[in-house]
Structures are given as structure tokens and as C-alpha cells.
Structure 1
Amino acid sequence: MNPSRGHVAGLPEWDRCAVMGVVNVTPDSFSDGGKWFDSDTAVKHGLDLVAEGADLVDVGGESTRPGAPRVDESEELRRVLPVVRGLASEGVLVSVDTMRAAVAEQALAAGAVVVNDVSGGLADPRMVPAVAAARVPFVVMHWRGQSIDMNNRAVYEDVTTEVITELRASLERAVAGGIEPARIVIDPGLGFAKQTPHDLRLVAELGRLRNELERPLLVAASRKRFLGRVLASTDGAPAPPARERDAATAAISALAAREGAWAVRVHEVRASADAVRVAHAVASAGSGEPG
């Protein structure tokens, strides 16, 4: 039988792992910084991702690559709001990727339906109350601090156990702050205060994360550093970001779908959309369910 992926209140119930496409409205994101910085171009890109199979589109205006400095609130709003508004007006399910409550509130007013906070509500004490008041889905990611020094925080005795413990604390804070459990998604934070062995271990134990925390699971591995290291050339140089890591991303998408992930978050949609559908067909065949 297919593993239960969990249903997120306020969103459709897909019969397989969903695909969340990424639109970075930033000049400095690690894999596609500047490509979609113009709002009209970003909206078109989001629509293209939907045409390629994205079920949701995640719009962000602040780079969270390791070492990235923060942008101010007014600049983040300037980047994000026209894109959210443009995509929502076309009927796209839009997630806003932000650590700021004010940005989340204005993006929701512009038509977003999900808040994806890489800090899990830790960066802005107003975030949890804002999401609770809006009664929208909330993605809680494992986070140990801002991008500028996240690499210094990548110290673990047992990465999976520690990520589960820290995510559980964030979940409890969110629920205590008024967010309904049925609206919460967890994200193990691949690449955030993690080194390659940590990321690989978490991917290997996605089923444990999902089972122990009992919440739908978002896996965001797309084009990340650990994939570059896995694909390193014979001289040890990591595969560069962007398209050189897309096939590996699709492989993670298939593995995540097989482990019951609710969704995968990816830059290049078509290959991962195909991967999750194949994973669903194989799982259905194995259980005797109609595919």
C-alpha cells in the first residue's frame, strides 16, 4: 500500500507526492539568482512551472544560500508582492517563502495560500500569531540560525534524532501559538546548517522523520550543495549549481515520493513531476491498487 502522505488542511489532496516549483525573485540565489528578478519575467516563469507539472509555486524574495546577508523588509515586499499577485490572479496555488510576518501577511492578502518559513517561526516572533490568525498552511523547517553563519552550526552527534527533536519543539511552539496541527507541514532543512553527510543521512531516514513527527513532509533538495558533492568530478570539484544537478534532484524526488513525502520543492519541475508520478505508479502496482 502507498504510504500515507497526510493531508494539509486548506490545500487539495493529491493522490501522489505534490511538486512545488520555485520562483526566486532575487539577484543572488545560489542556483538561479537574477534570472527571474523582473516581476513580469518571474510571473511568466511561475506559469511555465505550472505548465510543466507544478502543483504549487513557492515565491521568495530573500536568498537563504549559506553566507547570504538579509535584505530589508521593504525590498522583500517590492520583490515578492507583484509576483504573488500575478500568479494568484491566474489561479496558481502560491506559497510565500519568507521569515517575516509582515511579508507573509501582505503576500496572503495578495493571494498566497501557504506560508513557507525556513526558520519555522523562530526568526520573527510575530510569524506564528500571523499564520494562526490567517488560518493557512504553514511549513515549519528545521533551522539553527541565519544564513550568514549557518555553516558554523552544522554540528551533530546524531543528525536525524537532533533534527526530529528540534523540529518537534518548533511544531509545539506553532501549535501553542494557535496554528492548527492539520495545517502544519515539516521540512528537515536539507542544506541549512548541514554538511553533506548530514543531508544524505536525512534523505536516507525521511520515513523516520515523517513517522515520528506525524506531519506531512516537504523535501527541498533541489540543486543543493550536497548533490554537487555527490556528483563531484574525479578531481573532487563539485558539480556546479543549476542544471548540472537537476537529474540528481529528480532522483531525490523519486526517493522522497517513495518514502511518503507530501511534496518536493524543485527549481526544474518536469523531471521531478515525472519522477513522483513514476514512484506513485510503482507503489500502486506493488500494492495492487489501480495506478
Structure 2
Amino acid sequence: MEVFAKARAAADDLVARIGAKPQVKPLVMGILNVTPDSFSDGGRFVAVEAALTHARAMAAAGADMVDIGAESTRPGFVPVEEAEEWARLEKVLAPLIEDVALPVSIDTTKAAIARRAAALGAAMINDVSGLRADPAMAEVAAESGAALVVMHHCAEIDPDRDIVADMFAFFDETMELARAAGIAREKIVLDPGVGFGKSLRQNLLAIDACGPLGEKYGLPVLIGASRKSFIGALSGAPTQDRLAGTLAAHLRAFSRGAAIFRVHDVAEHVAALNVWSEFDRA
């Protein structure tokens, strides 16, 4: 069997689900960090059984997919070498793909990690660098046939930056990189990159940009504001108590056209998005 056949089939199914979901039925992506230093849950799911138990719980709560990462991307994170990142992932990834009945997304900026994950059957590559960190990532995405999330980010915060114009310029370049590599356009998902090199105001504008981004590129938009620091700045809540603020931010994004939500609290998001959706159905 062709090495990426499983990934390609899983990706095709996932893309069909994303495309078939109208605005009134978004997808929820559950976060699974197998890291010791993630800002919200670092160290909790490093052990294989703990990771799998959490993934199963998210599936039971209504998650549509699981996003697994082995390198923290929080502000001030310590970069992880490829061998260490794969060592953290390898013991969890195969049983996760085989035993948990959800598509799996691999959260990495390293092409070699993405390739190995896709060879095991990962349906999606979630690259927070937006194809900038590793020149080989676009080639891996094209070759594997995996779906691809590309995220906008800024190297540093500049409060005077026109963040929406910057996003358009960034994604124009990203789409050209993807086209040149042969990545199928319908497999691309855009992420405004909440919390990545943005001021508080720019994070709010990034959430509201879901609509313009989707309209300009004709692609689904993923939003990931879960428990992030701008919510703490607005609410005064510590990291573990930011569910209410997270729900408010994600419902705002939903109203602006976001289609996929990357979250820590799956059950609460499934319930909130379902209730919100009923207003549209009514």
C-alpha cells in the first residue's frame, strides 16, 4: 500500500466533512498536548495512557478531531529537537490513530515530523509557522495529501501594525507557496493566529477577521483562542478559569464565519456551539 494512502483517505474524508458543514454546524478540534511545558496543561498527558484516556474523553464529549502536539508554542517556549519531538509523539500517535475514532491532526513545524505522522495516518498537518519554519513542509503536505492548517503569526508585537492587512499579505504568500508545491487548495485551512505576535486589540481584530479571510480565499477558517492570555487580560481570570472568556471569543468567531474551533474544553464548546446554531436554524 502506498505509504500515505491512509493519511490521504482520512484527509479526504475530513475535508469533505468540513466542506459539507454549513455555518450552523462547526467542527470542534480537541487539544492533546504531550508536552511538559504547554501553558495550560503541560505535563498532564505525557504518559501514553493518560494521553489516550484524554483523547477518548474528548471523542465521547463530541470532538470532531484531535490535534496532538509535542512541542509547546507558548510565548517564550524552548524549541525541541526533532528527535525529542518524535520520541514524545511516537509512543502515542500510532495507538491514537488506531484506537480513537477521530481524525488526528499533527501540530508541528517540522517537515520530517509531519511526514512520519502522515505515514502513520494523520489526516491533517497543523503548521503554526504557515509554511515558513521548514522549507520542506509544503512538499510534505503535497506529497502526503494531508489537510493543512496554515497560521498567521508575527515575529514580535507591533501595536501599530494593520493586522488584517498583514494577514492578507501573509496568506497571499502562503497560497503561492502552497500552489507552487502542488498542495490541493481545497485541503487548506486558514488560522488567524490568535496570540501569536499580536496585541490585545489585534487579537480581537484577528477574531473578527474570520469573515474577511473566508470570503477572500474561499477557505475554511480555524480559530484557537482557548485559555489564551488576552482572555486573562480582559477577564482577570487565571489560565484554568478562562472557559467563559474562551466561549465568548469562540462564539464571536463563529458569528464571523469560523468553521473549526481548537479547544481544551470540548464538551462545553459542543454544547455552546449547538445552542448558538439553533438560532440560525430557527
Q: 1:62 aligns with which of 63, 71, 79?
A: 71
Runs of 4+ in 1 over 4 A off after TM superposition: none
Shift of 1:156: 4.2
Q: 1:129 aligns with which of 123, 134, 139?
A: 139
Q: Which residue of 2 aligns with 1:138?
A: 148
* C-alpha contact 1:97 1:115 (8 A) present in aligned 2: yes
Q: Which residue of 2 aligns with 1:181?
A: 185
**Structure 2 residues without counterparts, runs of 5 or longer:** 1-10
Separation in 2, partners of 1:53, 1:10: 17
Separation in 2, partners of 1:159, 1:280: 29
Shift of 1:283: 1.2
SS state of the match for residue 146, structure 2?
Answer: coil
- The farther-off stretch of 130-139 and 210-219 is 210-219
What residue identity is the alignment partner of 1:272? H
Q: 1:28-55: CA deviations, max 9, x gaps? A: 0011111111122111111111111110
Separation in 2, partners of 1:47, 1:36: 12
Separation in 2, partners of 1:186, 1:256: 13
Pairing 1:49-198 to 2, within 5 Å after superposition: 49-90=58-99, 91-145=101-155, 152-198=156-202
Question: Is 1:269 aligned to 2:266, yes or no?
Answer: yes
Separation in 2, partners of 1:257, 1:17: 8
The structure in which a higher percent of residues are helix is 2
Q: Which residue of 1 aligns with 2:247?
A: 250
Separation in 2, partners of 1:44, 1:52: 12
Separation in 2, partners of 1:76, 1:245: 28
Separation in 2, partners of 1:215, 1:173: 16
Figure out how many residues of one structure are paired with residues of the other and give that number. Answer: 265
Q: 2:46 aligns with which of 37, 40, 49?
A: 37
1:174–1:153 distance in 2 versus 1, CA, 3 Å: farther
Q: Which residue of 2 aligns with 1:281?
A: 278
Separation in 1, partners of 2:239, 2:222: 21
**Structure 1 residues without counterparts, runs of 5 or longer:** 1-7, 146-151, 233-238, 286-291
The TM-score with structure 1 as length reference comes to 0.87
What residue identity is the alignment partner of 1:28? D
What residue identity is the alignment partner of 1:240? P
Separation in 2, partners of 1:60, 1:156: 32
1:42–1:154 distance in 2 versus 1, CA, 3 Å: farther
Q: 1:240 aligns with which of 238, 241, 255?
A: 238
Separation in 2, partners of 1:284, 1:117: 34
Q: 1:53-82: CA deviations, max 9, x gaps? A: 110000000000011110110111011122
Separation in 2, partners of 1:156, 1:99: 28
What residue identity is the alignment partner of 1:88? I
Question: Is 1:48 aligned to 2:57, yes or no?
Answer: yes
Q: Which residue of 2 aligns with 1:235?
A: none
Shift of 1:161: 1.5
Q: 1:165-223: CA deviations, max 9, x gaps? A: 21221122112211010000000000001111110112233212221232100001001
SS state of the match for residue 242, structure 2?
Answer: helix
SS state of the match for residue 89, structure 1?
Answer: helix
Q: 2:203 aligns with which of 199, 207, 210?
A: 199
What residue identity is the alignment partner of 1:249? T
